[in-house]
Structure 1
Amino acid sequence: MNKNYIKKIWCTDLGLSPFSNNQFYNILECIIIGWKLIPMPNKSEYKPHLVIYPLWENTFNKCMDSPLLLTPMKHKGIDLCVSYDEEKENVHQITAYCSKIIELGKDIHSTTFISYLKENFNNPNVKSNFLLQIKLFRLLYGIYLYLDKMELAENIYTTLKYESCLWDKEIFYYWYGKLDTWIDSMSNLKNNREHFIANIQKNSKEKKNT
């Protein structure tokens, strides 16, 4: 099947906007959420991944530097792989199956959506990789700040400070720089919530204009 047609099916079925040939997103208040179809090496197949980017960084490009969540769609505990030659009817069935996940993101205020995000901490890949844990913590922290749930945001911040004692400092420095500086930057988000909200509003407008 033509890749442009595959893109059309995914966007139409899930009500998403194309960002590229294999990425389809929507703005959900303080985040960008959607699906990324990642090609498999040396195979005519792709894996659908649920993906979430923040909207509170200083620039839109910075927001899109790296997703805070990138998790493969699973069926019966196994990563879902889809052939580029899959019949159209089957692709519609796959998008319908995926919509059960994306529906969780229709309301960022939903406890079901937050619970789904937290469940990702049980993912073996996340459990064994503190860098992925950091991303999830950042995602939850940002959402709580946006929702003005300051006590929950403070709990995340406290957990981050505690967990940071267990992280490999050299690996952390490679990705984020000095740990103390990074921890301070997380605190600054909380202490400068007006700027945090202003960034979301600014980046949301830029995304809509792209």
Structure 2
Amino acid sequence: MTVTIETKKRIAEDWLHSFPQLSRYQANKFYKIIGPVVIGVELIKLPRTEEYRPHYVMYPLWRANLKQCLDAPIILSEFKNNKNLQYNIPYESNHKDFQDAIFQAKSQRPTLISDRISYKEILSEIKHYAENSYLKASPNSYWQALLKEAQLIICLYVDSEEANAVLKDIRDVDWNVAHFKNNGVDKAIWIEEMGNLLKQCDSVLSQIRLNQKDSKICKLPYHELIK
């Protein structure tokens, strides 16, 4: 039986009502801006079923334009139940898991319901994702490098001296050159670009500010990172 549009809308409204700190970006995507990143909840339909799975997401705001920023998340992570299993929530019996999923989402990602978020909390979320998601199987991959890049830019955004430590980490890792090449990136050039970020901080911050003001997201709830 095909799930009606009205049912999906009702479920989306229930999620949005449970997270008043977020605002609707698209039908099943609810976001807020936290300084240089967008965070929020996405309800992703599972293939070949009439079920959905709620995810926590984090997107960068330092790429060349908003489309590039929202094309590839820094974090895309399922919420887990108390058995550490992903949720597969049927649209037609949403009530069975809904309240538990809301509780776990707020417990696992307190940044979703907080208006005061420190940059260290965001760094911690990225580090946890690097060490506990599927990416942990390839610690020297280009995908892991992108997480380090995110940590570096967030430190620069709040003018933290930790940026130098993150850059040292980047230079010390024995990165997988082949994986960089498979993604169309030269490892040596990328490392040089990371070093240049410290010298071009104003340019990075200007791009973040530009994306924050994009008409598609400028009305989302906005909070600055706390140093």
- Give the equivalent residue in structure 1 for 2:223: none
- Give the equivalent residue in structure 1 for 2:130: 121
Deviations, residues 119-155 of structure 1 (Å, cap 9, x unaligned): 2233151211324422321222221111111x31122
Q: What does residue range 99-110 of structure 1 map to in structure 2 within 5 Å? A: 99-104=106-111, 106=114, 107-109=116-118
Name the stretch that deviates more: 116-125 or 64-73.
Answer: 116-125
Q: Which of 144, 148, 166 is the equivalent residue of 1:156?
A: 166
- Give the equivalent residue in structure 2 for 1:21: 27
- Give the equivalent residue in structure 2 for 1:195: 203
> Does the aligned pair in 2 maintain the 1:7–1:18 contact within 8 Å?
no
Does residue 98 (structure 1) correspond to residue 131 (structure 2)? The answer is no
The root-mean-square deviation of aligned C-alpha atoms, in Å, is 2.3
> Does the aligned pair in 2 maintain the 1:176–1:182 contact within 8 Å?
no
Deviations, residues 83-112 of structure 1 (Å, cap 9, x unaligned): 212344852442233122332353331644
Q: What does residue range 1-210 of structure 1 map to in structure 2 within 5 Å? A: 2-15=7-20, 16-75=22-81, 76-88=83-95, 90-104=97-111, 106=114, 107-109=116-118, 111-123=120-132, 125-129=134-138, 130-149=141-160, 151-163=161-173, 165-167=174-176, 169-206=177-214, 207-208=217-218
> 3-state DSSP class of the match of 2:17?
helix
- Give, in angstroms, the shift of residue 29 of structure 1: 1.2
Q: Aligned partners of 2:146, 2:16: CA distance in 1, in Å? A: 26
Q: Which amino acid aligns with 1:86?
A: S
TM-score computed with the length of structure 2 as normaliser: 0.80
Q: Which amino acid aligns with 2:167?
A: Y
- Which structure has more relative contact order (CA 8 Å, sep 6+)? It is 2
Q: Which amino acid aligns with 2:108?
A: I
Deviations, residues 55-87 of structure 1 (Å, cap 9, x unaligned): 112211221120011111112221122221234
> 3-state DSSP class of the match of 2:154?
helix
Q: Which amino acid aligns with 2:76?
A: L
- Give, in angstroms, the shift of residue 176 of structure 1: 4.3
- Give, in angstroms, the shift of residue 18 of structure 1: 2.0
> 3-state DSSP class of the match of 1:64?
helix
Gaps of 5+ in 1: none
> Does the aligned pair in 2 maintain the 1:49–1:71 contact within 8 Å?
yes
- Give, in angstroms, the shift of residue 49 of structure 1: 1.4
> 3-state DSSP class of the match of 2:42?
strand
TM-score computed with the length of structure 1 as normaliser: 0.86
Gaps of 5+ in 2: 221-227
> Does the aligned pair in 1 maintain the 2:52–2:89 contact within 8 Å?
yes
Q: Which amino acid aligns with 2:151?
A: L
> Does the aligned pair in 1 maintain the 2:167–2:195 contact within 8 Å?
yes
Q: Aligned partners of 1:186, 1:202: CA distance in 2, in Å? A: 21
- Cα 1:91/1:124, change in 2 over 3 Å: closer
